[in-house]
Structure 1
Amino acid sequence: MRPMMSPPLLSPSPCSLLRFLRLCHAPRRRNPTAAPPTPYTFRRRPLLLLPVAMSSSASITAPNSVVADPSALARKVAAIRAAGPSKLQVIADFDGTLTRYWYDGARGQSSHGLLRQGNEEYDAKREALYEHYHPIEICPDIPLPEKAKLMEEWWEKTHGLLIEGGLTYEAIKKSVSDAAIAFRDGVVELFEYLEERDIPVLVFSAGLADIIEEVFRQKLHRSFKNIKVVSNRMVFNEEGRLVAFKGKTIHVLNKNEHALDMAAPVHDSLGDPNGSIDDYSLVKKRTNVLLLGDHIGDLGMSDGLNYENRIAVGFLNANIEKSLKDYSKAFDIVYLNDAPMRGVVELVSELCP
């Protein structure tokens, strides 16, 4: 669905624009558990490159951010700020967006990848599927329609193995406890800031909702009443054994707001006594969107909205040399090399001071 046409926007004041551009230069703390990937070095500068930070180590450079069209971004910031927080919602991917790409020197696990069924045969079968399909997922040369079919094939095979292998909810809890997964630095601050302003957050994921909610429970140790999870949701029998999945399969290239019927407030699972802050049927009336993703396919998460203004923030964690051009065209801001979430926190503070 095409976005609604925005009314003519007033140019942002010089002071506001300068504040926004300064946030892109603000120093960021180095992620202590991130692996030291070789930072991307630009040979040419066709885009506006806004360095985020420099490590004290000569061999490690903290991530850079890329803004291809700073004037367009400034106009969107001014429009969303003028409309106020009651018109804003945040739509975020989970794996590789809210979570870190690197963890203790190795690739961090996804909500699918961390799962151990307690059955080595089926764990090995799912790992074999990953080895086959993951290179397809990250390959920038495969056309999106062809890639989407292959991703659906991967997800359905994986879900079938989980059912066939007798996954239990107890196995999920143990898997999360043992997992190499962590949220990006700044995620808690972002959620707290949004919660204080009653701004809903829709967490869209091609992973597994039951696992994501368990990650929230174990890794953040608190609930956020403004968060809903839209992901593949499991059905367990009375013995706690997986027997089915609900609804349409959500994979990395088909996430959008038409899957809202699969969402569940995180606070419901965590026992938040305060209830939901918002009727989520009203989410679609929030016509300004801040979208966070690590895959160009994540842009489809807002397809169900007639939004007026959308700021798309991309996290480009791998294949930077091949993918930067496409990401810089697709996203308003691109953060490179597993950047922390603190730049987004600063951006939100500009949108909703």
Structure 2
Amino acid sequence: MCVSLDGRGCVVSLVLVTPPHPPPPRLSLQIFKRCTATQSFLHSCVCRENRPKMPQFEKPTVHMRDPERVEQIICGLIKGGASKLQIITDFDMTISKFAVNGKRCPTCHNVIDNCKLVTEEGRQKLLQLKHKYYPIEIDPHLSMEEKFPFMVEWYFKSHSILVEQRLEKDKLPEVVRESDVALREGFEQFFDRLHQHNVPVFIFSAGLGDVLEEIISQAGVYHSNIKVVSNFMDFDDSGVIKGFKGELIHVYNKHDGALRSTEYFKQLRDNSNIILLGDSMGDLSMADGVPNVEHILKIGFLNDKVESKQSQVLTLLLPTCRRRQDLTCALLITTSPEPFQDFCNIPKVLKRLKIGLFVHIQYITVATRIPCLELNESQHRFRDVLSLSSKMLRFITFEWLIMKQSKL
């Protein structure tokens, strides 16, 4: 075998001696194809045939604009491991269910709105506000900027009504137990596994923080690795609500809330890989305060107005789960599926490359140009000299690239 390199270290031609035996039927010469921006040279070398797909991503309720990109991001997440991962998630209709047997499940606000602590008059006022503002929140024809003032108005009015009701703090556990709130299937495994591996979980909710914390506490998953940022009630010395703490958080100002959480994210500077979960366009900005993001996978849950919102959401969230009531998409990543572990295992990759070059190539001369993609400073270069024969020239260089999301 003779190898020619150009000035940049790119392979420009290969001359190979025919092996003594014919190659196996699954011959692949695609390792000499020019690479594209979304298919690295190494990826094309390794994937000589269609690898098995993740069955969870093959379901008709899961949609992806660019499956190859999703695959590459997941490879980056798995290669980084638990020590580099953090979860940023919404709560209402993301961790909690949207509906059970066709019946809508309550949000954190709804848990209070429908409880016995609220008078019938107060309940009717809150219901009228919902009928007025919820259609605006989910209207796909309005921009977030157009919805913003309506959301502020809705939250301010509803919180004022709750203060008028003089809610008592010690009654909240009973209110949550009597509610119909439900968490998505797989939530125990999801939270327990993240806690087991000490993966930080940032729950960013426009709901009621006191109710949210009570829900996950009663579910047995409020672990030490969880931080909740939400609208928390302010109680007086007798335990009666007197207002709300801090800045208002609604579905379309999470960008501002994320920036206010910069100090939290700075403590997690090494956790540069993110899985983001949400159910609205406003949830896309929840990671805005995170520095040094390396890989981010955004998983969206389409619960309502599915057909009208799907095309818009697919351009921003990948993958998108239609009317799913479980956390399968997130679970399969946190449990490190074998096909992707195998792909991200460098020794196995190099072994495959050696076998592919030594056994599968039959032709005496192959002339091609294989570009080597540029590395940026934060990426690592792996080179291996493969000795294919003691009688022939002994090396060919491949580069393993770990690319940022913007390069995928």
Q: What's 1:224 paired with? A: 223
Partner amino acid, structure 1, of 2:285: G
1: CA distance, partners of 2:301 / 2:309: 11
Give the fraction of aligned pairs with identical amino acids, expressed as a percent.
Answer: 30
335 and 243 in structure 1: CA distance in 2 versus 1, 3 angstrom threshold: same
Q: Does 1:257 align with 2:242?
A: no
Which of the numbers 258, 283, 289 marks the counterpart of 1:304?
Answer: 289
Deviation at 1:168, TM superposition (A): 1.4
2: CA distance, partners of 1:222 / 1:289: 20
Deviation at 1:310, TM superposition (A): 0.7
Q: What's 2:247 paired with? A: 248
Deviation at 1:105, TM superposition (A): 3.3
Q: What's 1:350 paired with? A: 336
2: CA distance, partners of 1:78 / 1:222: 27
Deviation at 1:123, TM superposition (A): 2.0
Q: What's 1:24 paired with? A: 56
Question: What are the ranges of 5 or more consecutive residues in structure 2 without an aligned counterpart?
Answer: 1-38, 342-408
- 1:200-220 CA distance string (max 9 Å, x none): 0011110011000111122x1
1:204/1:229 contact within 8 Å kept: yes
After TM superposition, the score normalised by the length of structure 1 is: 0.77
Which of the numbers 72, 77, 88 marks the counterpart of 2:74?
Answer: 77
Deviation at 1:14, TM superposition (A): 3.9
87 and 241 in structure 1: CA distance in 2 versus 1, 3 angstrom threshold: same
1: CA distance, partners of 2:201 / 2:40: 26
Q: Does 1:336 align with 2:325?
A: no
Deviation at 1:242, TM superposition (A): 0.7
Q: What's 1:31 paired with? A: none
SS in 2 for 1:182: coil
Q: How does 1:111-126 map to 2 (within 5 A)?
A: 111-115=108-112, 116=115, 117-126=117-126
10 and 174 in structure 1: CA distance in 2 versus 1, 3 angstrom threshold: farther
SS in 1 for 2:286: helix
RMSD of Structure 2 on Structure 1 (CA): 2.5
Partner amino acid, structure 2, of 1:211: V
2: CA distance, partners of 1:290 / 1:107: 26
Partner amino acid, structure 1, of 2:259: H
Q: How does 1:163-174 map to 2 (within 5 A)?
A: 163-174=163-174
Partner amino acid, structure 2, of 1:289: I
Q: What's 2:64 paired with? A: 67
2:188/2:221 contact within 8 Å kept: no
96 and 222 in structure 1: CA distance in 2 versus 1, 3 angstrom threshold: closer
Structure with the bigger RCO (C-alpha within 8 Å, sep 6+) is 2
Q: What's 2:237 paired with? A: 238
Q: How does 1:1-353 map to 2 (within 5 A)?
A: 14=47, 18=51, 21-25=53-57, 50-51=58-59, 64-115=61-112, 116=115, 117-218=117-218, 220-255=219-254, 256-260=257-261, 281-306=266-291, 307-350=293-336
- 1:3-41 CA distance string (max 9 Å, x none): xxxxx98855549x946x32425xxxxxxxxxxxxxxxx
SS in 2 for 1:112: helix
SS in 2 for 1:327: helix
1:91/1:289 contact within 8 Å kept: yes
1:254/1:297 contact within 8 Å kept: yes
1:122/1:165 contact within 8 Å kept: yes
2:213/2:222 contact within 8 Å kept: no
SS in 2 for 1:289: strand
2:265/2:290 contact within 8 Å kept: no
- 1:128-170 CA distance string (max 9 Å, x none): 1111111111111111101022111111111111112212113
- 1:65-101 CA distance string (max 9 Å, x none): 0011012112211222222221110001000000111
SS in 1 for 2:335: helix
After TM superposition, the score normalised by the length of structure 2 is: 0.67
Deviation at 1:340, TM superposition (A): 1.1
284 and 232 in structure 1: CA distance in 2 versus 1, 3 angstrom threshold: farther
Could you say which structure has the larger radius of gyration? 2
179 and 89 in structure 1: CA distance in 2 versus 1, 3 angstrom threshold: same
Partner amino acid, structure 2, of 1:314: G
Q: What's 2:349 paired with? A: none
137 and 101 in structure 1: CA distance in 2 versus 1, 3 angstrom threshold: same
2: CA distance, partners of 1:212 / 1:182: 12
Partner amino acid, structure 2, of 1:89: Q
Deviation at 1:283, TM superposition (A): 2.2
Q: What's 1:47 paired with? A: none
Partner amino acid, structure 2, of 1:324: Q
